[in-house]
Amino acid sequence: MTPLLIVEQLNKIYHRHQPDEVTALSNISLQIISGEVIALTGPSGSGKTTLLSLLGCMSKPTSGNIQLHGRNVSKLPERFLAQIRRETFGFVFQQYNLLRDVSVLENVMLPLYPTPQSFREMKGAATAVLGRFELNGMMRKKVKQLSGGEQQRVAIARALVTNPEIIIADEPTAHLDRELSQYLLQILSSLNREGKTIIIATHDPGVYQATFIQRRFNLRHGQVVEDGDR
């Protein structure tokens, strides 16, 4: 099976050639098959978030290649990366990164603005995905009026509204209690059953030891020190 994502000799250095130069990732190579659920683990500062952002085309590597569907995306111009982010990836951020003064519906519609869909189609898609998470009754509420768990569900709904192939989640259970964490894992598991590839960065054992996690990459000091099945 052709890998969905191929990473070869990936390096990421911040503030290069400056006194505060930091090597966040060093010679990372890995492959991800379509439909897999991957956990990236490691302590804070190990490079999990950096690797997620590179895989999700949110920044460019200092050196190395990333191939998505056989296409090298590591050197594409920004506008193509934006299109790939929009069409292929759905992001669930650690801090949710929702617009707090904006309604739930509008937050979920945000990724659809640059698409050719009409306003009515956008609203329809957003309403459908919110319905899936039982958030229809809160569509008009502002995000700041919601609880942490509700905000997390809105964030996931926003990530799904473009029907992406790959879900990237950065510490998704960081602000959730045990019950809500379990609920979140059920959602991710069901998304995987629908065929979506899921990449989760976490240091929560409750997540990386979950049954639906198929593979785990353990990072330390910007390098993969362990790569194997869960």
Q: Which residues bind other proteins (CB under 8 A)?
A: 49-50, 52-53, 58-60, 78-79, 82-83, 85-87, 89, 91, 93-95, 97-99, 101-102, 106, 110-111, 113-114, 116, 118-119, 122, 158, 162, 170
Provide the minimum distance between the beta carbon of 60 and other proteins in the complex, in angstroms, as a whole number: 7
Provide the minimum distance between the beta carbon of 58 and other proteins in the complex, in angstroms, as a whole number: 4
Q: What is the DSSP letter of 30?
A: E
Provide the minimum distance between the beta carbon of 93 and other proteins in the complex, in angstroms, as a whole number: 6
Alpha-carbon span 109 to 87, nearest angstrom = 14
Question: 26 near 63, Cβ under 8 Å?
Answer: no
For other proteins, the closer of residues 81 and 191 by Cβ is: 81
For 60-207, list the strands marked E by DSSP. 63-68, 71-72, 89-92, 166-170, 197-201
The type of residue at 74 is S
Provide the minimum distance between the beta carbon of 128 and other proteins in the complex, in angstroms, as a whole number: 18
For other proteins, the closer of residues 116 and 228 by Cβ is: 116
Q: For residue 86, how far is the Cα from the chain centroid?
A: 12
For other proteins, the closer of residues 93 and 212 by Cβ is: 93
For other proteins, the closer of residues 93 and 183 by Cβ is: 93
Q: Is 143 left (phi over 0), alpha (psi -120 to 50) or beta?
A: alpha
